Structure 1
Amino acid sequence: MLLGSFQSVLEARNRDEFRGEVVRFAKRLGFETVSAITVVDHPVGDTEFVAIDNAPDAYKDAIEDPKAGQLDPVMQHCKRQSVPIIWDQSTYVSAGQGSMWEAQARFGFRTGICLALHMPEGRHFVIGVDRDQALPKDRGEVTRLVADLQLFAVHAQDTAMRVLVPERLQLERPKLTPRELDSLRWTMDGKTAWEVGSIMGISERTAVLHINNAMHKLACTNKHQAVLKALRLGLLR
């Protein structure tokens, strides 16, 4: 069930579609609310935040308050680490922010999981899922929830950077030739280099050359990584 979520979020074409996929994934995972934030650091000037969420309207001001983020122990953890944090009331109490937890708990934010991906060139992606009920007591089940969220974040972060970050801050995407894209597209369908060459009317050696060129441009070490990254960047559908 979740596997389809990974593919769907890769294919989101705009902010609304991305938000829809993120919310659907969170609910399938068993969480009522979710937020996803892109962060772009600037050498000079303020850091830029762009977020999507499905928080209650009455709580949106608190979520979007940058001063609150500076006090929130979950956000401070994600700012410094890539290790996911499983949080509840004790997380806030131990940080001296018990009143912050009480304020958000009224809106269903009683416990959850949050993580951040820190990427080159000052790009960051934070995703958190929250709910009113306690997490499962079975450690294996909680580990699975964390792993599913981590895997979803890996798929979602490139889409987030593509559809949430303003165009002026977008990093340049690799430019692949039509032949290189076709080679990756057929590879995505499970075709071997020989089959790709036969379909495209070129030799197997030339098909391998196109695939290798695409891998090099995408900075990937194998063709499967190249296909996944091309999907994330929106180069393939």
Structure 2
Amino acid sequence: MLPASYTSVLEAKTRDEFRGEVVRFAQNLGFETVTATAVVDQPGTSAEFFSVHNAPSAFIEFTDDREGAKIDPVMQHVKRHSVPIIWDQGTYTSKSLGPMWEQQAQFGYNTGICLALHLPDARHFVIGVDRAEGLPRQPFEVSRMVADLQLFAVYAQDTALRLLIPDVIEAERPRLTPRELETLRWTMEGKTAWEVGAILGISERTAVLHINNAMHKLDATNKHQAVLKALRLGLIR
């Protein structure tokens, strides 16, 4: 894969430009269709999905089926793992979901590769490439495809978060500094402010200041509530 495919996606200025770069990359890789999605976990509600794709128009309604995504083995895999999944008919039949595969296969979704990058601040980037024909028989060829997709995802995720997520959602999320997040992580582990300070090489007073700032940004009444809110928002894991 030409290095230009990776760098050019970083330079996309609009959603349409980003979509064009994603589609071009997928087709150069040997896949007819592609979906790239920025996901934002929202506290107390369902996650928000913002996608670009070149799915056939007749297939769009099927891809927008949130209920189907809850049982789709590919979606469930990337939700929980960062390791790419190479999927085909067997992926679905092994879960007694053969009819689901048959429905999507009508539109050329017979096999593919999908992966997710799980990022800070409850952000995720998911990209999947699909095609009607089987993957190459040579393992090294498939490994090359996976590696190219993984590298492209690293470049594309920054552009996806920048161009696909509405500004209003960005504005609603608290922004904690790395130090504030670190103090919350150690607080979650049951460490006192003195212990957090010793671990991070700062004074107890400074550790308390970081915890208090985090509590204020998260609108929490105590440090334990701050930890719970940060976990729910995906700010810490």
Same fold (TM over 0.5): yes
Residue-by-residue CA offset, 1:133-159 (whole Å, 9 max, x unaligned): 100010111000000000000000010
Instruction: Number of aligned residue pairs: give it.
Output: 173
Instruction: Give, in angstroms, the shift of residue 70 of structure 1.
Output: 0.6
Task: Could you tell me which runs of 5 or more consecutive residues in structure 1 were left unpaired when the two chains were aligned.
Answer: 174-237
Distance 1:24 1:38 in 2: 19
Instruction: Give, in angstroms, the shift of residue 71 of structure 1.
Output: 1.4
Distance 1:33 1:13 in 2: 22
**2:62 aligned partner:** 62
Q: Is the partner of 1:170 in helix, strand or coil?
A: helix
Instruction: Give, in angstroms, the shift of residue 170 of structure 1.
Output: 2.9
Instruction: Give, in angstroms, the shift of residue 47 of structure 1.
Output: 1.1
Letter of the aligned partner of 2:156 in structure 1?
A
Residue-by-residue CA offset, 1:60-104 (whole Å, 9 max, x unaligned): 000011111111100000000000000000000001110000000
Aligned-pair identity (%): 61
Asked if structure 2 preserves the Cα contact closer than 8 Å seen for 1:40 and 1:49, the reply is yes
Moved more, 45-54 or 17-26: 45-54
Distance 1:43 1:8 in 2: 34
Letter of the aligned partner of 2:101 in structure 1?
W
1:122 aligns with 2:157: no
1:108 aligns with 2:104: no
Letter of the aligned partner of 2:148 in structure 1?
D
Distance 2:106 2:47 in 1: 30
**2:19 aligned partner:** 19
1:163 aligns with 2:163: yes
Q: Is the partner of 1:147 in helix, strand or coil?
A: helix
Distance 1:65 1:49 in 2: 12
**2:199 aligned partner:** none
Q: Is the partner of 2:70 in helix, strand or coil?
A: helix
**1:154 aligned partner:** 154
Distance 2:59 2:30 in 1: 21
Q: TM-score, normalised by structure 1?
A: 0.71
Instruction: Give, in angstroms, the shift of residue 2 of structure 1.
Output: 2.6
Instruction: Give, in angstroms, the shift of residue 44 of structure 1.
Output: 2.2
Distance 2:140 2:170 in 1: 39
Distance 2:170 2:143 in 1: 34
**1:78 aligned partner:** 78
**1:38 aligned partner:** 38
Distance 2:100 2:107 in 1: 12
Alignment map for 1:129-208 (pairs within 5 Å):
129-170=129-170
RMSD: 1.4
Q: Is the partner of 1:113 in helix, strand or coil?
A: strand
Letter of the aligned partner of 2:99 in structure 1?
S
Letter of the aligned partner of 1:89 in structure 2?
Q
**1:47 aligned partner:** 47
Distance 2:11 2:136 in 1: 31
Asked if structure 2 preserves the Cα contact closer than 8 Å seen for 1:78 and 1:116, the reply is yes
